[in-house]
Structure 1
Amino acid sequence: MSAVDRKMLRDLWRIKGQAIAIALVIATGVLLQVMMSGLVASLSETRRTYYERNDLAEVFAPVVRAPQTVLGRLAKISGVDRVSGRVVGRALIDIPSDPVPIQSQAVGLPDTGEQIHNTVYLTTGRFPAENHRDEALLLSGFASAHGYGIGDRIEVTMNGSRRSIRIVGLAQSPEFLFVAAPGEMVPDPARYGVIWMRRSALASAYDMSGAFNQALFSLSRGASSEAVIDAIDQILKPYGGTGAYGRSDLVSDRFVSEEIDGLATMARAVPPLFLAVAAFLLYIVVNRIVQAEREEIGLLKAFGYTNREVGIHYTKLLLIIALAGAILGCLLGILSGRAMIPVYTTFYNFPFLVFRPDPTSFVIGAVASIVSASAGSIFVLKRIFALTPSEAMRPPAPADYSKTMTFKGRAALLFDQPTRIVMRGLARSPWRALALSAGIAGGMALASGMTTIYGAFDRMMNLSFTVIDRSDATVYFHSPLGEKAAYELARIPGVIAVEPLRDVAATLRLGRELHRGSISGMVAGPEITRAIDHTLAPIDLPARGLVLSKPLAEILGAAPGDILTVDVREGRQPVLEIPVTRVASSLIGAPAYMQLDALNKAMSEPARITGAHLRVDDAKADQIYRKLKDMPAVAGVSVSENARASLQKLMDQGAGSARYIMGAVAFIITFGVVYNAARIAQNERARDLAALRVMGFSKSETTFVLLGELAVIVLIALPVGSLAGYGLSFLIANGFSSELYQIPASYDPFSHGFSAAFILAAAAISGLLVMRDLNRMDLVAVLKSRD
């Protein structure tokens, strides 16, 4: 080992505290890069493989009822490779221990042969026998949530008729990665089931003998999905076709895609923030080291070492720190990614999912670490290399402090001598103080921004379930009924209030932008479930026109006054031109609202409803839900308490759980920044502090001089960091928001106060560590260091 390499190791040991802190900052940035990029790659590759292996259809075409012979015409459409028809239907599962009827989807399997599309992945058991109409497969996630196994029987209501079905197998399907009940936006395996039965069994239950109500398509390579969908709609329109749609509009695929896109966005945006902080810290450290070793650099050059060799020497030290952080970040990123895998297998029903880090993320993390380390050394070493050995070996010329502040007269009496030293020190090196303050402000911004997001998640929950949706339960019917159905619900003992609704499936278009969703028809002045504006005031729905939620308005690029083309996909399927009147705030989903009477009039179906929002007496809730379970017209019941619990679980254990990792990382970085600021200040002032001790200053006075500067720097950083954190919280909230839920960022005094308290605590701990070293300082050795 060469002499300069041994010197490098000694230097590294001397600044081990700072080196560890900086390495941890780099590691956190690389951790997020590896974890998020790996999750994106793993989810994308697993989804692609799963879709291909199990032949997920590329186009879905629901229809009221079409004869089997129509499949031949559909197969002749240009661009269609394969087509199959099946029977599907809504069903209710009766769990005796649960008063609420569980919504489910019944899906037909071919009586003979294999499935052409959406092949079921059998996790255990066997397929239903061809001649046993009471046998079925059950979605494995639902079975696990309720403790069902092979051989158990469940009571199911299909098309108004009660049936007893025996479970012979548990299964999963690429069609049901994301499982949520109709009318709900949150996945909950316990609240929605999928049942697979032989086609003949479902055909008899839903009156589909010799017919189908959903066609599935695979397309030829290079085929235009838009042209194929238009041709499909033309053929199926006489049979009640409600509009074919591509795989990207499948609810399951759409939400999984949004999750992957959200992770990809954060993988691009978040890690650079942490690596930028690391680069800043490295710059300060290398600047201090090089300036402190100015004479040693001159001596090295005098002994014949070239500028290149000296530069490599100091660059090696930084690269060791950077590469150590990068390696640690890669290892922790792999562990974190693997820890997140159970979340996605639970919430997104993947039958298999292995975390496979993206090799590119390792390269990006290592390169970014090296660049951030090198960037700090280049500017500092350039100034040193310009010096001759003789000049570099001499101490730098004393700075000219003649124009800095002086304390005379009353000012001298107002401040004691240590305080005056602190103030003069800050005035003499303002840029150093501002640099350290900027680093602490950056840490404060990360901490306060993430803490604000914690509160924003809770605020979203409270607003959604106490201000926007104040219902206790929502009832859905199999088909539109007369308004008399709402009165019948109101007569159930324990029902306090009923507010009818009508949801109509529709495609909303504005120019080239479109959104496949629905229109929610509500009474003119809703009280139970409402649309609200940005001030949280309820919106009275106009007699004509649409009120769009903010997410939907952004998707379509719509504003009040725009005319939307609304292609209704049920009933008479009219195509309507409806103006946008208002934009409402929405925190869950992307709904569109319309007055109920106006919607029914546009549909030419007066006084029709598809469900109702209920307020119920808590003491009689179970009796009410059991009563609803026995009503043939009821297709499902969504209980707000269950929906809220599911959303909370999703945010704590699902996609939203990433905020906890990012929050922990933010606070680690914040402490690292404060600790480095204290250590840098100590090392830069070591000689001055030793001189003060020799001149008669006590240990406490000397400590006050050093930590007083740190205190001022920290106090300056707090308001700046708080302001930066306020802006950062909006960027982070936008990254977490999706069509599933939107995070409302706002100024949260508690979050900023908590972050400020953490900064002060970090400064106090760092100060204690520095004070311990000051008390142990060898005065003679420090004062002789530049002799």
Structure 2
Amino acid sequence: MTKLLIAQLRDHWKQGLAIVLLLTCGIATLIMSMTTMRSLEASRDRYYSKYNFAHLWAPLVRAPEELLGRIAQISGVQRVSAKVEKHVLLDFPEMLEPASARLVSLDTDPHLDINGLYLRKGRLPVVAQQTEVVVSELFAEEHRLKLGDLIPANLQGKRQDLLVVGIGLSPDSIYVVQPGMLLPNNRLYGMLWAPREKLAAAFNMEGAFNQLTVRLSSDANPEYVKKQIDSILEPYGSIGAYDRQEQESHARVRDELRELRTMAFLSPAIFLSVSAFLVHMVFSRMVSQQSEQIATLRAFGYSPYEIGLHYVRVVLVWVAMGVTLGIGGGLWLAAWLSEIYRMFFRFPEMVVIRFGWEWMLAVSLGVLVALLGALSGLLRAIRLPPAVAMRSGGMQSAPQKGFTQLPLFGFLRPLGRMVMMRMVGNPWQTFFSILGMGLGVSLLILSSFMEKTVEYVLDHQFARSQRQDLQLSFYDPRSQECLDEVKQWPGVRRVEAYRVVAIRMRNGFKSDRLAILGLEPDSELFRVLDDRDLPIPFPEYSGLTITGKLAEKLGLRVGQKVMIDLLEGQNRSIQIEVSRIYPNYTGPAAFIPKTMLHELMQEGPQISGLFLSIDASQRQAVYRLIKQTPAIAGVTDKDAALANFRELISKSTGWMRLINAIFATLITVGVAYNSALITFHQRARDLATMRVLGYRQSEINQVLLLELFWTMLLAIPVGVPLGYLLAYGLVSAMDSESHRFPFFVHHQTVVYAIVVMMAATSACAWMVLRMTKRLDLISVLKVRE
């Protein structure tokens, strides 16, 4: 049986190669995703534990340090830390636009502090005449900062040169994103750490703090602790304590790991399912071809167990090759994917997990998938009676007589009738061939639709919704005079003000902490678009407009009233009716007319920031004025944000899309080639008979090509809807708190999938047609009597 095993592996090496490639794709994707996910989780958890990642945060305006004693006595509180945090503008000489950073105070021993600082290079800053800082690693790399460099900064209207003495990381800033942005921009936004005394003096915060971080004991009740902290800090402008689930960096890392977990399940499941399908096709044909040999072996005394074990060994050889290649390729891809993630977040050390239960899972899934695919063929081989060896080759099954009487059948040429009769006469084989090619089309759609989806989101966000050139944010709310002043700047075409207030939105037991944005009634630069991409107006008293994501999270619908706790000013609680729900592709958000927000806050016209449309030729002059304005805490350049977004997407997903496209193409080629090969083997007797009867080689080729053409044509309406279904499943699975993608499949994606499938089928047909020229007519037509 060993010699027979070697002979069968040699005779079916092409089909085996296709199966091995499919198994390799599925196993490699599984190992890549699971290994990377476990490595990132282990690195994050070790970092959190070693550097005392906080459990709770409480931002506020200003509170005396004497309150720390009261907070430390709350049941469940293990440790508290008070910090000074401010956003500052930075003026790098080589940059036209200003950068910004979050400046955070350091305590006496930052290593033991909550959210402790890890130094990659240099030393900790000390209190000296010149303000010394530690710079976040990604920001330093982007600006090529070295120890001893100076960073010009605007601290409360005073220009200071910050001396770089270290480059480091903090567990609360693994993923650093500028407020309001989708992705990090390490060129325009970073983190800086400086001594507490220097920041307190610069921002008039001596003996006070504006950020509280808390570590909890293992038996603490987080909700109870948050309520106690809120009651203490409410008079000092607290916007409410929140836990890790709402912390920006942790939430982003959590969502990335969630997407990796989705990838670890969805992609391998698809690839391995197609592998099982292909094994089924190959084994069914193999057993059908070798039925006489199997029956002869049974007649010579081989047991069904020995016959079945032989074919199981064939499967296991293919599985062994596929799993080995898949594990090796998956580990290589995992190392590459880890480097991709380094563009977004960093850890002090990356815990590399290369050996674990993923290997056992990969081997088990490979064996299980292959055996399930081969099951029907194995059962047929085991149950085949010895008497089959005495049968001669029979006629192919023919379709019902009614089919030949259809009007369409009469329009076909004789060769076309022959092809259609065979396809209808073998419905199951035809069905599986169509389904196989359809799966190839669907996988090509799945692997390539996201590129156009991202382009759609970019166009929606940066072209149709956010039409401003610059967005300015102030340290504190300003009066209307600030708007009039900016209007006089050279090159400013249009200015629109907005007001931002921190709120907690409640509906029953469900709640969410977010910022509500008050917009002008005639806002043209920042537009909220409905489901038809039309701008939503904001006339006075038009009610609350929320995102679909927020509505889902809180269980809200249009016309329903929701409770809003204002976390600024007098901390009032009010009920507002939800007037509109609109789709969006970022996190939860809420909008309201600006005048209505002023009334809710019981304040006069106040401005949190401005949207600017400027003349491109005056951009440098506008930037110069921004850098000279002490009230401005941050600036966002839409064009720079869009360019950064495209660059990050290109670097992070470009190669991944290419790998997925290669995997999908390999699967399509494998399925198409096996379908063509099976068609050839099943038609070998008919084709040889036609040659003996005098048909030309071109006519024989035409029969084979017609069958492949009809199979391919019928596969398109099967594969396209299936591709849409898979794309919808992927979009739904990737829906997270921080972002969501629309279900959008561009027609170019469908055309691309069909063209690739047609090209793969044509190439496979060409290879099979070469085999028809080498048909051994005598051996093919030989019939045992």
TM-score bucket of the superposed structures, by smaller chain? over 0.9
Structure 1 residues 175-324: aligned runs within 5 Å: 175-324=172-321
How far the C-alpha of 1:589 sits from its partner, in A, is 3.2
Q: CA deviation at 1:628?
A: 1.0
CA contact (8 A) 2:586 2:738 kept: yes
1:515 deviates by 2.0
Match of 1:586 in 2: 584
Counterparts of 1:417-566 in structure 2 under 5 Å? 417-541=414-538, 543-566=541-564
Partner in structure 2 of residue 714 of structure 1: 712
1:70-121 Cα offsets, whole Å, 9 max, x none, are: 1111110000011121222121111122232211111111246754211111
Could you report, residue by residue, the CA deviation over 1:154-202 in whole angstroms, capped at 9, with x for unpaired residues?
A: 1111222211121111111111111112232321111112111111111
Distance 1:413 1:456, change over 3 A: closer
* TM-score, normalised via structure 1 length: 0.96
Given that 1:176 and 1:349 are in contact with CA atoms closer than 8 Å, whether structure 2 keeps it comes out as: no
Q: Select the residue among 624, 627, 650 that pairs with 1:626.
A: 624
CA 1:652–1:16: 2 relative to 1, 3 Å: same
Distance 1:166 1:403, change over 3 A: closer
In structure 2, the CA distance between the partners of 1:655 and 1:224, relative to structure 1 (3 Å rule), is farther
How many residues are matched?
Answer: 784
CA distance in 2 between counterparts of 1:222 and 1:249 reads 21
Q: Shift in Å at residue 20 of structure 1?
A: 0.9
Could you tell me which amino acid in structure 2 is paired with residue 642 of structure 1? A
Contact 1:650/1:656 (<8 A) preserved: no
Task: Say yes or no: does 1:570 pair with 2:545.
Answer: no
Q: CA deviation at 1:381?
A: 3.1
Change (3 A) 1:684 1:569: same
Query: How far apart are 1:737 and its partner, in Å?
Result: 4.0
Pair 1:665 & 2:697 matched: no
Q: Is 1:87 the equivalent of 2:84?
A: yes
- The question of whether the paired residues in 2 share the 8 Å contact of 1:341 and 1:355 is answered with no
**Residues of 1 paired with 2:399 and 2:433: CA distance?**
24
Residue identity in the other structure for 2:622:
I
The separation in 1 between residues aligned to 2:172 and 2:313, in whole angstroms, is 53
Overall identity of the aligned pairs, in %: 32
Q: 1:538 and 1:402, CA in 2 relative to 1: closer, same or farther beyond 3 A?
A: closer
Which whole-Å CA distance do the structure 2 matches of 1:336 and 1:659 have between them? 13
- Describe the shift of the 1:427–1:526 C-alpha distance in structure 2 as closer, same or farther (beyond 3 A): same
Q: 1:555 to 1:266 in 2, by over 3 A?
A: farther
Q: Secondary structure, in 3 states, of the residue corresponding to 2:159?
A: strand
Residues 263 and 141 of structure 1: CA distance in aligned 2, closer, same or farther (over 3 Å) = same
AA partner of residue 589 (structure 1): G
Question: What's the offset of the Cα at 1:363?
Answer: 2.4
Deviation at 1:133, TM superposition (A): 4.6
Name the structure 1 match of 2:743: 745
Q: 2:334 is matched with which residue?
A: 337
SS of corresponding position for 1:230: helix
Give the whole-Å Cα distance in 2 for the aligned partners of 1:198 and 1:377: 68
- Aligned counterpart for 2:388 among listed residues 383, 386, 391: 391
Structure 2: how far apart are the matches of 1:343 and 1:718? 35
Q: After alignment, is 233-242 or 433-442 more displaced?
A: 233-242
Q: Shift in Å at residue 142 of structure 1? A: 0.9
Kindly state the Cα deviation for residue 781 of structure 1 after the two structures are TM-superposed. 2.6
Q: 1:440: Cα distance to partner?
A: 0.8
Q: Write the distance in 2 (CA, Å) between the matches of 1:507 and 1:180.
A: 22
1:338 positional shift: 0.5
Secondary structure at 1:478 match in 2: strand
CA contact (8 A) 1:524 1:540 kept: yes
How many Å apart are 1:733 and its aligned residue?
Answer: 2.2
Q: Deviations over 1:547-601 (max 9, x none)?
A: 1112222222221122222222222222222221111121233321111111111
1:413–1:167 CA distance, 2 compared to 1 (3 A) = closer
From the superposition, tell whether residues 137 and 413 of structure 1 become closer, same or farther in structure 2 (CA, over 3 Å): closer
Task: State the alpha-carbon separation in 2 of the partners of residues 645 and 146 from structure 1.
Answer: 17
1:382 CA displacement: 2.5
Scaled by the length of structure 2, what TM-score is found?
0.96
CA contact (8 A) 2:294 2:307 kept: yes
**Which SS does the other structure have where 1:378 is aligned?**
helix
Residue identity opposite 2:483 in structure 1: A
* Aligned 1:397-408 pairs, distance under 5 A: 397-399=394-396, 401=398, 403-404=400-401
Distance 1:339 1:424 in 2: 51
Distance, in Å, in 2 between the alignment partners of 1:492 and 1:119 is 43
**Counterpart in the other structure of 1:777:** 775
Report deviation, 1:698.
1.5
> Partners in 1 of 2:534 and 2:296 — Cα distance?
74
CA distance in 2, matches of 1:627, 1:406: 81
The C-alpha deviation readout for 1:266-296, integer Å capped at 9, x for no partner, is 3222311111111111111101000100010
| Match of residue 39, structure 2, among 34, 37, 42 | 42
Write the letter of the residue equivalent to 1:283: H
Asked if structure 2 preserves the Cα contact closer than 8 Å seen for 1:404 and 1:428, the reply is no
1:692 aligns with 2:697: no
- Matching residue of 2:17: 20
> Residues 406 and 732 of structure 1: is their aligned pair in 2 closer, same or farther, counting only changes over 3 Å?
closer
Alignment map for 1:720-739 (pairs within 5 Å): 720-739=718-737
Letter in 2 for 1:310: I
Asked whether the equivalents of residues 41 and 358 of structure 1 are also in contact (C-alpha less than 8 Å), the reply is no
Q: Distance in 1 between matches of 2:677 and 2:254?
A: 46
Q: Is the 8 A contact 2:51 2:112 kept in 1?
A: no
> 1:349 is matched with which residue: 324, 346, 350?
346
What SS does structure 1 have at the residue aligned with 2:343? helix
Question: Relative to structure 1, is the Cα distance of residues 33 and 493 closer, same or farther in structure 2, using a 3 angstrom cutoff?
Answer: same
Q: CA deviation at 1:398?
A: 3.4
Range that drifts further, 447-456 or 496-505: 447-456
SS in 2 for 1:98: coil
Q: Is the 8 A contact 2:23 2:272 kept in 1?
A: yes
State the match for 2:125 in structure 1.
Answer: 128
d(CA) in 2 for partners of 1:194 and 1:112? 19
Residue pair 2:437, 2:712 contacting (<8 A) in 1 also? yes
Instruction: Quote the Cα distance in structure 2 between the aligned partners of 1:412 and 1:265.
Output: 48
Deviation at 1:775, TM superposition (A): 1.3
Aligned-pair distance for 1:785? 7.3
Tell me if structure 2 keeps the 8 A contact 1:34–1:357. Answer: no
Query: Matched residues in 1 for 2:340 and 2:399: separation?
Result: 64
2:107 aligns with 110
Q: 1:575 to 1:686 in 2, by over 3 A?
A: same
Question: How much is the aligned-residue C-alpha RMSD, in angstroms?
Answer: 2.1
1:509, distance to aligned residue in structure 2 (A)? 2.1
Counterpart-to-counterpart distance in 1, 2:392 and 2:355:
50
Letter of the 2:326 counterpart = G
Runs of 5+ unmatched residues, structure 1:
none
CA-to-partner distance for each residue in 1:357-393, whole Å, 9 max, x for gaps? 4733322222222122112332233234334212344
- Aligned equivalents of 1:765, 1:344: Cα separation in 2: 38
Deviation at 1:652, TM superposition (A): 2.5
Give the partner amino acid of 2:761. A
